[in-house]
Structure 1
Amino acid sequence: MLKAVIKGHARFVYYHSLGLSYAIKKYNLEDKLKILPVNFKVYNHYAVVSKKYPQEYFEMVQDALKHINNNGLFKKYL
Structure 2
Amino acid sequence: VVSLLLDRGADVNAHAVSGSYGNALCAVAYGGKETIVKLLLDRGADANAFAVSGNYGTALCAAACGGWELIVRLLL
TM-score (norm 1): 0.34
CA radius of gyration, larger in: 1
TM-score (norm 2): 0.34
Q: Greater relative contact order: 1 or 2 (C-alpha under 8 angstroms, separation 6 or more)? A: 2
